[in-house]
Each structure stands twice: as structure tokens, then as C-alpha cells.
Amino acid sequence: NAGVTQTPKFQVLKTGQSMTLQCAQDMNHNSMYWYRQDPGMGLRLIYYSASEGTTDKGEVPNGYNVSRLNKREFSLRLESAAPSQTSVYFCASSPQGGTQYFGPGTRLTVL
Amino acid sequence: QKEVEQNSGPLSVPEGAIASLNCTYSDRGSQSFFWYRQYSGKSPELIMFIYSNGDKEDGRFTAQLNKASQYVSLLIRDSQPSDSATYLCAGGVNKFYFGSGTKLNVKP
């Protein structure tokens, strides 16, 4: 039982490059989330998926897209990376409205 | 105004003392509240959750919720150096807003 896994752990991009962050959970949770964490800012919700087949914007969705591929997987895509997207990205999953379980994070640097 | 507000600290307490962490929220529709602990460079992990007004105790931790005042708190009794971390408060319904976190230092 791996919980929530994220790939990659680290990534360096150049401005304008694209990439997809992968997230998977094996806890049969309905809800999944993507957050970014910047120094002193706490966690800010980018997108979430309350159940398979649905996605909704969070606080800071601009510059990102998501795909809820199936119940287990929820990916985050940066189409054209910008230095302002340098951050630590956390994926989380939860039973509906319940405790969130977080992945280990992806540390992204955009040059 | 952020949905969830916390004092960023740092809050310094001596070992064995009670640490009191506070959080306010703006959305009266929020139903569930969570306290997470985050060590430097690690992901958040759940400490406690609370849904109902009043106190909820779990070992050395007590969460308090006052919906009328839109206030959530976490008390840590007998604080240990291993409790030194950033504590994140979160609230919401299906999506959750996090505060910016309070850094706690417990001094031996």
C-alpha cells in the first residue's frame, strides 16, 4: 500500500517548456487535489477532482490543466512553464470531504 | 482576505509547556477543519480533524472549534522538541483552504 505517489520528485524546466506531473493513489479515494506551496504561503489549491470524471478550479488555476484519468490517477499539466510556477507541488487524495493524504511532492524550478 | 488565516510565528515554547496555535476562517459554510503538521522539506501529515463545536482530544493534542466566532485552535500539551514543525490549519467543504502555517519551535 503505497498511499499517494508523485513523479517526478524534482524537475528543472526552461521558460516555455511543458511538462506533466503525475499522481496516483491506491486508497480507493474519490477526491484528489493538486496544491502548490511557496515559501510563507501555505498550500494553495490549483485544481481538485471530487470524483472520477469531474474537475474544478481552485484558488490558482491559471497556467495549469488537469486530467482525472481514472479513479487512481490525477495529472497536472503545465503547457508553457513560467518562472512564477517555480514551487513545490503536492498531490493529495481523500474520501469525499475527509482527511487528505499527501504525496511526497515535486520540486519544480523554472528558469 | 485569505479564507483561512494563521499567525505565521515563529511560536517558541519551552519543552513541557503548552503550545497554543490559532486559526480563523471567513467562509461560514465551512464544515470540516483539519490541523496538519509539516516538517521542513516533507509533506503535510494529519494531526487532528474536527467537525463539531467544542473540544476534541487525542493524546497530547486538543482541537477546539467555535463556529460562531469562526475560530479553530490546536493545543499541544507537554510540548516536545519533536513537535517543532509548521502547523497548517485547513477548512472547507469539498475543497479546502489552508492557512499559511504557524512555525512552532519547542526549546529543550
pLDDT value at B2 more than 80 = no
pLDDT value at B44 more than 90 = yes
pLDDT value at B29 more than 90 = no
Q: Pick the closest to residue B88 from B5, B2, B1 (CA basis).
A: B5
pLDDT value at A96 more than 90 = no
Q: For residue range B61-90, what is the model confidence (pLDDT) as tens digits?
A: 999 999 999 999 999 999 999 999 999 999
Q: Provide the terminal-to-terminal Cα distance of chain A, rounded to the nearest Å.
A: 36
Asked if omega into B10 is within 30° of 0 (cis), the reply is yes
Contacts for A11 with CB less than 8 Å, ≥ 6 apart: A19, A21, A106, A107, A108, A109
**Amino acid present at B95:** K
Tell me the chain B residues in contact with residue A56 when contact means C-beta distances shorter than 8 Å.
Answer: 95
Of B34, B45, B100, the CB nearest to A42: B100
The overall average pLDDT reported for chain B is 93
**Residue A44 to residue B6, Cβ atoms within 8 A:** no
Task: Please state whether beta strands A106-110 and A10-13 pair in parallel, antiparallel, or not at all (unpaired).
Answer: parallel
**Residue A40 to residue B8, Cβ atoms within 8 A:** yes
Q: For residue range A25-67, what is the model confidence (pLDDT) as tens digits?
A: 999 999 999 999 998 778 999 999 998 889 999 999 999 999 9
Question: Which of the four pLDDT bands, split at 50, 70 and 90, describes residue B1?
Answer: low
Q: What is the DSSP letter of B104?
A: E
Q: A 13-72 residues with CB below 8 A of B? A: 31, 33, 35, 40-45, 48, 50, 56, 58-59
Q: Pick the closest to residue A6 from A19, A25, A29 (CA basis).
A: A25
